[in-house]
Amino acid sequence: MNKENSIAIKKQAIFKVEAGYQLPYEDLVVVEAPLEIQIRYFVKQKWQKKSLAVTMRTPGSDRDLAIGFLFSEGIIGRFSDIASVEKIEDNVLVINLLDTVLVEMDTLERNFYATSSCGICGKASIDKLTKTTCFFPRPAMPKISAITLTKLPLLLRSIQSLFDQTGGIHAAAIFSPTGQLITLAEDVGRHNAVDKLLGNCLQNGKIPLRKEVLLLSGRISFELVQKAMMIGIPIIAAVGAPSSLAIELAEEAGITLIGFLRGERFNVYCGVERLNIS
């Protein structure tokens, strides 16, 4: 077990019951723990520190998660807005912004609390979210074949090391239109997995991602589409279902949205022009 996995998994004593027999057993379970994200910023001629969010996440790639969260919330627009990142405790990260970064006070006045299932609660308004984006996809580009698309869930599953050991974790991955893996993130929370992807791509200069595909291991919510909008993703596919608001936002942003991607079957909810069936 590598170092990243060792902090994301714990051993748990359980009893297995099968065919009328009860046997002691040692199982592996995914770790869920809070991460507090603080920011230090310059306002009114002085430095301020604020606890911005608490998210329930799987430990590992915390730096990526925090940076991706700040980017997806529109607090930073580029990686160079960050002076440094400090881990002051196991579950507390401080993002130090440059003194030239202008932080909107109404954003900081919101209370962010994210569970592993629901994402960020207490958004100021849907209108504000739909207007907060850095990049938009190119119309009808790129193209992806249905054959390549149907292979992606198996490719994702084959590289989910934490899922193999626990069976209880979500994944998000960026693929090229030809099916080549670009980057992968796993977390007990779907939203955290996507933020980890965003943070990783932002730090490595991969944004915008106007030629790539975002694959999700679960369902597609409004917030996940909004996060994909921030990096210019043109195609979102998932093994689960999209919500009505996710479909509306994808249509508005010109994103291809694909759900129930299982075996050789899937549903295209919008943006079918990017799909090659033959």
Catalytic residue numbers, as ranges:
118
Instruction: Kindly tell me the number of DSSP H helices and DSSP E strands found in the chain.
Output: 9, 16
What sign results for the dihedral spanned by CA atoms 169, 193, 238, 111? positive
CA–CA distances in Å: residue 209 to residues 163, 198, 270 = 26, 10, 19
Phi-psi region of 260 (alpha: psi -120 to 50; beta: other; left: phi over 0): left
Which helix H or strand E contains 224, and what residues bound it?
Answer: helix 222-229
Measured at the alpha carbon of residue 75, what is the angle toward residues 74 and 76, in degrees to the nearest 5? 90
Classified as helix, coil or strand, 239 is coil
Answer whether 220's CB lies under 8 Å from 145's CB.
Answer: no
Query: And the tokens for 61?
Result: 């790639």
How far apart CA 164 and CA 53 sit, in angstroms, is 30
Structure tokens at 62: 């915390």
Phi, psi of 221 (to 5 degrees): -100, 170
